[in-house]
Amino acid sequence: MCSLTELGSRLRARREEKNLSLDELQRMTRIQKKYLIGIEEGNYSIMPGKFYARAFIKQYAEAVGLNPEELFDEFKSDIPPAYEDDLPEQLSRVQSRSSVSTNYSKLVELFPKIIFGIAILALIVFIYFIVIKNYNFSNKTGTNQGKDPVNITESNEAAQQKEDPAKSNEDEMNENADTEDEQTDEQPEPPAQVLKAESVAGNVTTYSLAQAQEFVIEVKATDPGNSWFEIKNENNQSVFSRELKNGETESVDLTGQSETYITIGKAPDAEIYINGERLEYELAPQQNITQYVKIMLQTEE
């Protein structure tokens, strides 16, 4: 029969064959050096527990290339058993399971009583609400029966109309006259402007603008798109000339001028607004890329 030192000697001899120091073995197994020395010396009392002793021996054996199962079988009478430390825990588990079963049985026995108690409580609540509802209805009915009849009285205005119909008609006529005076005082809205094409000559379109309160030209490039614009006043002087891109707009106020000339470099991507009203091309933009627009302001004589 082998002694404890024989297992330690076997492991130590194997370690030395592998040229491994205790420090190197500690890094390989992550077992503290003092426990490795305890295994080689057969001193298992320094181990944290019997389970750890077996686990450390197994890791030591695997690290030096020995079969731990063969070692456990050969030195089984000398290596601390692993199950002893787990025995109290297993007993506690059995005990807890037994207590759980007992508590569950008690809960099953009490369940019908709990259901019966809930049903009784619900019945009491239902009867309580029925009684309260009938009591309130009785009070409302008795209160309405004891009230005095409602007297409907005419307003002062209605009574005066019955007493003096002529005066009532006179007041109504005065109110209508006041309303007419208020309507007369209101200023009429200015008429809407009229923008229409008068003639087309080549790629030049002439428009007339009547009943306009102002003369504001706004040019815009569609988004996406780009177009070149030039706006001239009645004296043929350029007041705006630039390319617009991707939704850019530009406004020119020509109020007081009698006419304007607008050059559009890329009509499909160009929009023109006269006092906020969009100008509709007489010439198809896709067929007439470059267009010239002349707008003449008509004044009332």
pLDDT one-digit tens code per residue, 121-160: 999 999 988 888 777 666 666 555 555 555 555 555 555 5
Q: Does residue 231 form part of some domain?
A: yes
Instruction: Look at 21 and 187; give whichever has higher pLDDT.
Output: 21
Q: Can you give the pTM of this predicted structure? A: 0.40
Taking 80 as the threshold, does the pLDDT of residue 80 lie above it?
A: no
Rounded to whole angstroms, the Cα distance separating 118 from 122 reads 6
Query: What SS3 class is residue 52?
Result: helix
Q: Does residue 280 form part of some domain?
A: yes
CATH code, 256: 2.60.40
Q: Which of 74, 99, 119 is the last residue of a domain?
A: 74
Q: What is the pLDDT of residue 297?
A: 86
Q: Does residue 176 form part of some domain?
A: no
| Cα distances (Å, whole numbers) of residue 241 to 218, 227, 238, 247, 254 | 13, 11, 7, 17, 15
Q: What is the pLDDT of residue 15?
A: 93
Number of domains in the chain: 2
**162 band by pLDDT with thresholds 50, 70 and 90:** low
Q: Does residue 140 form part of some domain?
A: no
Q: Is 207 exposed, middle or buried (0-12, 13-18, 19+ CB in 10 A)?
A: buried
Mean pLDDT of 294-299: 88
Q: Which of 43, 74, 105 is the last residue of a domain?
A: 74
Mean pLDDT of 248-266: 91
Q: What single string gives the DSSP state of each residue in 145-198?
A: HTSPPPPP---HHHHHHHH-HHHHHHHHHHHHHHHHHHHHHSPPPPPPPEEEEE
Q: Does residue 149 form part of some domain?
A: no
Q: Does residue 80 form part of some domain?
A: no
CATH code, 31: 1.10.260.40
Rounded to whole angstroms, the Cα distance separating 262 from 267 reads 11
Q: What are the contacts of 283-291 at 24+ separation with CB within 8 A?
A: 283/200, 283/203, 283/205, 288/203, 289/265, 290/203, 290/263, 290/264, 290/265, 290/266, 291/203, 291/204, 291/205, 291/263, 291/264, 291/267
42-51, 121-130, 146-155, 274-283: least confident range: 146-155
Instruction: Look at 277 and 104; give whichever has higher pLDDT.
Output: 277
Q: Does residue 45 form part of some domain?
A: yes
- Tell how strand 291-298 and strand 226-232 pair up: unpaired
- DSSP label at residue 79: S
* Average pLDDT of the residues of the chain: 80
Q: Which of 51, 74, 97 is the last residue of a domain?
A: 74
Taking 90 as the threshold, does the pLDDT of residue 214 lie above it?
A: yes
Q: Does residue 228 form part of some domain?
A: yes
Instruction: Look at 21 and 261; give whichever has higher pLDDT.
Output: 21
Which residue segment(s) compose the domain that 61 sits in? Answer: 4-74
Buried b (16+ CB within 10 A) or exposed e, 6-43: ebbebbbebbeeeebeeeebbeebebeeebbebbbebe
- Is there a contact between 282 and 200 (Cβ–Cβ < 8 Å)? yes
